[in-house]
Amino acid sequence: MNTMGSLASAVRQNPWTSAFDATLLGIAMVVSLLLALEYEIVVFWDQLTERQRRIRIEEIFLLSVLLAIGLGVFASRRMKEAQSDREREMRAAYEAEAARALAMQDALTGLPNRRALEAAVERAIVQPPVEGRMHAFYLLDLNGFKRVNDEHGHAVGDAVLQGVAKRFRAAARQEDLVARLGGDEFAVLACDLGDRASALAIGERFVSALGNEIAAGGRTHPVGVSVGVALYPQDGGTAEAVMHQADLAMYKVKAGKRSGVQLSEAA
């Protein structure tokens, strides 16, 4: 039943080649029948003798074999076409998924990019934490990175960013999303935290992650980070509001020309 269904589906998906093969099969059977009857094309049926109209058992067997072969070839071609269609669909789906993954990934660090982060924050807003708990959004801006680019070039700067990304990923919880927004800006989304102290402690981990200099280009480079933290739902009811509050908090740290963590004061 499944085989017949698959064959019927393959015929529907490839109507032109199916019609072509069916036509060839029909022609082959007609020609075989005419030969079995010793029929000449220019002679009509009523001009045949009774003996010429009679098909022998050997000819019936031969016609049956030819029909079986023709049907077998027809079915085989249809099933191969169906398999080829499935492989094309799977390949297209894989390529589309790979393209979507690349579109959500930062090429330099391999971290999720701004688009992926914004989508994750939107999902977190749609699925708020249980009462008494919170989501935390962190905006991280590196300190001293411009000097690395200016003094040692962008290749070394890129290596430093890759080192920073690895340290931030190691400092975050396994379930947290760490993203690179672009340039020397990173962000983190940590969901389902118990209180403000827990959110602050995670932020301190990112500061500590850059406590040691980063090796790149044959030397080490001192890089710090200013971290602004906003909480949902305390600091805003939308993704835009929460991210804005984290940005304001981060600039308060940045103004002090030091590395550190600042919780939003919007609540």
How far from chain centre, in Å, is Cα 258? Answer: 39
Alpha carbons 82 and 71: distance in angstroms, whole number: 16
13 sits in which H/E element: helix 2-13
Alpha carbons 160 and 180: distance in angstroms, whole number: 13
Ramachandran angles phi, psi of 174, nearest 5°: -60, -35
Query: Minimal CA–CA distance to 225: which of 245, 201, 243, 208?
Result: 208
Which residues lie closer than 8 Å to 85 by C-beta, 6 or more apart?
10, 13, 14
Q: Coil, strand, or helix at residue 72?
A: helix
User: Is 192 tagged catalytic?
Assistant: no
CB 177 within 8 A of CB 117: yes
Helices (H), 104-174: 114-126, 145-152, 154-171
Residue of 106, 141, 184, 235 marked active site: 184
Query: Minimal CA–CA distance to 167: which of 149, 140, 148?
Result: 140
Catalytic positions are: 184
